[in-house]
Amino acid sequence: MTELLSSIAPAAGILCAVWFVASLLKRRSPRLPPGPPRKFLIGNLYDIPTHYEWLEYEKISKQYGDIISLEALGQRIIVMSNDEDVKELFTTRGSIYAGRARGTMAQMVGDGVVMMQPGKEFRTIRRLMSTFMGPQAVKHITEVQETAIREVLLRLMREPQDPLRPLQRMFGAIVLRLSFGYEVKEDNDYFIQLAETSISAFLHAFQPGWAVDTWPILRYLPSWLPFAKFKRDAAEWSEIIETGLRIPWEWTKSRIAAGDAIPSWASDLMGGEDEWIGAMAMRDLYSAGVDSTMTASLTFLLAMALHPDIQTRAQRDVDLVTGGERLPTIADRDQLPYLDAIIKELLRWHSIVNLALPHVATEDDTLRGYDIPKGTIVMANVWTILHDPKKYPDPMSFKPERFMPGAEGENEDPSKYAFGFGPRICPGRHLADATLFLVLAITLATCNVSDAVDEYGVPLKADSLEYLSGEVSRPPRFRCKIEPRSEHSRTLLSESD
């Protein structure tokens, strides 16, 4: 027996050595893109920005190149500032990068369309949203949008005011009417408050920095412990999000039962096999659509007040189409290329989402000789791409003419970056685009926008605007004067048809 063991031992030793070397080779450090030096244990923890992230990543990119990497507490992050790299990964290889980064805290709070992982439910939601909000479908729902826009402009005409709340109510009313057949009657509407509270709960849960995201085992702590407040927060936010899903859906069901329901997307989905997924989709339409379209509309009002020459040219183009005798409609769009140019410049000048929502590599990949290991968070710095002077000459200036025929520069359509990429592209982009066009067209046909001042009454200037930090970057709070171009303009807005 001893002799047998003696003969086996060398062979076993060799096998162990081979296994050890193979393991080392397999676990070799990946060749990641360059980035700031990593510190012991914490890596780049203090290099990862939490405010105005797109500007901070742009600074790092200027030092290390247009594809950079960071690592903190074991999580790798890659940020791209080159349009070709973004298209290659998120569009050409989109299926590999369709994953989302969801920390443990977010998982404890609940799921949603934006952060849902690829799979059957994700595909079902995308299909449902495309059915209701595809390019052809949105052409048949403009009456709801036009009515809401007329109402908000008449309200804004009464006195100079901050347009944020009126616009928030308007876009909320559009989404709730289309989704649930619900009509908003007042500013402090319960359903709007419910939707806003649900959005806030989601955003809190997805913020970086939760200890439980770094050490997931903490989720099993008893919630009564003094240092387990995150568990109590998660339970509270989960209930808020569930309420935001359930209440509007049940309200629509009750109206159907009573026989007085207004046709809506929710009513079309009820009773089907995808009802629960449909309820989630309807809830998340508010968070996905209201904030971004409202922000673009705020930027439009601000841009018109600060650039009266652009406003005048656009008004002239609208008048040539309508003769000043009617309001413009979505059918007029092909005859109004300058308005389309303004929309593109709004999306570029101050991007709605400056740092695209994080994608996650679902398998190992490479780019330009660099490794992208499975599980790496990959982001596109949309701000840097849309302010590249080689693509967009004089990028800090508001110049819609850059998107007109014969303009200098490449001037690629910024909507290719503003609404996401590949399998994660925003399913509501056609609805947002159509609504934004109608906001511009009807406002320009009937109103003069002027005298933009900050919340302290100081006149605003185009070259000194400082947009707010956040996932959706809004302009600073401001007031402006919105006056009817004539009494006939006011009459056009007041007409019911």
Annotated binding site: 426
Element spanning 169, H or E: helix 164-180
In this structure, what are the phi and psi dihedrals at residue 373, rounded to the nearest 5 degrees? -65, 150
Residues belonging to the binding site for heme are 426
Three-state secondary structure call for residue 426: coil
CB atoms near residue 119 (< 10 Å): 9
- What backbone phi and psi angles, to 5 degrees, belong to 119? 160, -170
DSSP 3-state of 446: helix
What b-and-e string marks burial along 323-353, b requiring 16 or more CB atoms within 10 Å of the CB? ebeebbbbebbeebebbbbbbbbbbbbbbbb
CA torsion sign for 361, 363, 367, 372 is positive
Cα–Cα distance for residue pair 488/325, rounded to 1 Å: 8
Contact between 60 and 52 (Cβ < 8 Å):
no
Residue whose C-alpha is closest to residue 97's, from 371, 474, 422, 331: 422
Q: Which residues contact 460 (CB under 8 A, 6 or more apart)?
A: 302, 305, 306, 452, 453, 454, 476, 478
Nearest Cα to 300, choosing from 470, 442, 491? Answer: 442
- Tokens linked to 384: 């840097």
What is the spatial distance between Cα 256 and Cα 102, in angstroms, rounded to a whole number? 36
